[in-house]
């Protein structure tokens, strides 16, 4: 449901430009992504202190207020200011929900449970886009913000009323004085966390580059009709749903192999799939769909595993939100960076070069995880140096 307050931006961009002027939306998406990246660190820190219920519940209410205010706005300055507030509010989602899910899962079942759960940001995006498009076509662009605001507020209140701590939280009184603070400091300084974050920086850069630019590439470079380009681009997210579930399930089936090693292997496979796409992606519609399906499968698996189950393993009961927030925050910097990279490389060297750069980034993401293979085992708590 968080996506109901963010996907409406891309759906209504053209309509707002027509109504209020093309320049009124300049910088809004970048401002939102920057605030989202910054907010990940604060939300991670806050989530382990106030708990998942308050962080998610109030975060959704703030996101609802931002969506409603966006629908009332008329100036570029207001759009920028509200986009920044919305980015901070939206940043409560992944770390807060990651904290909640850590409390309700174990080391033995976390991979497959989170593999299914983490499809929320693919499926949620599809439903949010459809809802915003329906509101836009029936009632105008403002309704595409008022409607999601109501949905966000209702779900936020539901979370505040019904969400409870899971058994993984444990009674606070059993822990020695100062142990919680020591554990959080250790996780924040852990080389494993920074390796995960470095890898996730490259992963999220690749994901956002393909999400934002694949339909454009299919239409402009391969000359597919507009509707056909949109349809074929869904292969990326369809493959992603299967990859998220599949790699999560596999990580529980082979507990002797670390989640980071499985992720690294998938990323090497991703580099091979991107290379194949440069060779055969333009030869036929069927091959384009099939190879991009494989790209989504091999990308979204490590994406969800590193930012979900692996981060929760690392953070444990005292620092799950912190670990999830910091890793996702580092990844969000990559998401902000993708537009500059994509525009610059495609303009100077052409679109094929963009896919070669993404290929190199996939290998860099795999290499960043190498130092964690020996330590990130799930035979016990992930070590974080004191």
SS3 for the chain, per residue? CHHHHCHHHHHHHHHHHHHHCHHHHCCHHHHHHHHHHHHHHHHHHHHHHHCHHHHHHHHHHHHHHHHHHHHHCCCHHHHHHHHHHHHHHHCHHHHHHHHHHHHCCCCCCHHHHHHHHCCHHHHHHHHHHHHHHHHHHHHCCCHHHHHHHHHHHHHHHHHHHHCCCCCCCCCHHHCCCCHHHHHHHHHHHCHHHHHHHHHHHHHHHHHHHHHHHHHHHHHHCCCCCHHHHHHHHHHHHHHHHHHHHHHHHHHHHCCCCCHHHHHHHHHHHHHHHHHHHHHHCCCCHHHHHHHHHHHHHHHHHHHHHHHHHHHHHHHHHHHHHHHHHHHHHHHHHHHHHHHHHHHHHHHHHCHHHHHHHHHHHHHHHHHHCHHHCCCCCCCCCCCCCC
Tell me the per-residue pLDDT of 16-70, one tens digit each, with 9 for 90 and over: 888 888 788 888 888 998 999 899 888 988 888 888 999 999 999 999 999 999 9
Pair 258, 376: CB distance under 8 Å: yes
Please tell me which of 7-21, 90-104, 209-223, 290-304 the model is most confident about, judged by mean pLDDT: 290-304
386 pLDDT higher than 70: no
Sign of torsion, CA 322 28 351 127? positive
What integer is the mean pLDDT of 210-235? 82
Residue 254, Ramachandran bin (φ over 0: left; ψ between -120 and 50: alpha; else beta): beta
Higher pLDDT, 247 or 107: 247
**Quick check: 379 pLDDT over 80?**
no
Which range has the worst mean pLDDT, 2-16, 66-80, 349-363? 2-16
How confident is the model over 160-182, as pLDDT tens digits? 999 998 887 655 545 665 777 88
Residue whose structure tokens are 């939206």: 90
Query: Which of 98, 112, 117 lies closest to 308, judged by CA?
Result: 98
Which of the four pLDDT bands, split at 50, 70 and 90, describes residue 244? very high
In this predicted structure, the answer to whether residue 315 has a pLDDT above a threshold of 70 is: yes
Give the pLDDT mean for 248-276: 94
Q: Which pLDDT does position 177 carry in this prediction?
A: 52
Query: Is the confidence at residue 311, as pLDDT, over 80?
Result: yes
């Amino acid at each position: 449901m968080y996506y109901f307050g963010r996907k409406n931006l891309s759906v209504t961009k053209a309509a707002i430009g027509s109504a209020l002027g093309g320049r009124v939306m300049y910088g809004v998406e970048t401002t939102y992504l920057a605030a989202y990246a910054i907010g990940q660190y604060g939300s991670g820190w806050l989530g382990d202190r106030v708990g998942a219920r308050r962080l998610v519940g109030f975060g959704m209410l703030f996101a609802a207020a931002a969506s409603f205010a966006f629908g009332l706005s008329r100036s570029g300055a207001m759009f920028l200011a509200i986009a920044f507030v919305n980015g901070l509010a939206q940043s409560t989602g992944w770390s807060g929900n990651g904290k909640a899910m850590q409390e309700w899962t174990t080391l033995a079942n976390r991979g497959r449970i989170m593999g299914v759960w983490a499809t929320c940001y693919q499926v949620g995006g599809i439903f949010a886009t459809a809802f915003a498009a329906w509101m836009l076509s029936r009632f105008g662009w403002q309704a595409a913000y008022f409607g999601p605001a109501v949905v966000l507020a209702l779900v936020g209140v539901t979370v505040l009323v019904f969400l409870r701590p899971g058994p993984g939280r444990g009674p606070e009184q059993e822990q020695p004085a100062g142990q919680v603070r020591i554990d959080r400091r250790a996780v924040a300084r852990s080389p494993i966390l920074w390796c995960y974050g470095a890898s996730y920086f490259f992963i999220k850069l690749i994901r956002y580059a393909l999400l934002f630019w694949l339909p454009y590439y299919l239409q402009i470079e391969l000359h597919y009709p507009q509707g056909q380009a949109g349809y074929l681009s869904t292969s990326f997210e369809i493959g992603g749903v299967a990859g998220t579930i599949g790699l999560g399930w596999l990580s529980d089936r082979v507990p002797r192999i670390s989640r980071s090693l499985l992720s690294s292997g998938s990323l090497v496979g991703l580099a091979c799939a991107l290379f194949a796409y440069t060779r055969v992606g333009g030869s036929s519609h069927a091959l384009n769909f099939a190879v991009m399906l494989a790209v989504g499968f091999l990308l979204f698996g490590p994406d969800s595993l590193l930012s979900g189950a692996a981060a929760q393993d690392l953070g444990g009961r005292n620092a799950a939100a912190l670990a999830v927030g910091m890793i996702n925050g580092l990844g969000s910097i990559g998401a902000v960076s993708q537009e500059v990279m994509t525009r610059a490389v495609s303009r100077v060297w052409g679109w094929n070069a963009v896919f070669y750069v993404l290929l190199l980034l996939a290998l860099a993401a795999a290499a960043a995880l190498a130092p964690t293979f020996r330590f990130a085992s799930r035979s016990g708590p992930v070590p974080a140096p004191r």
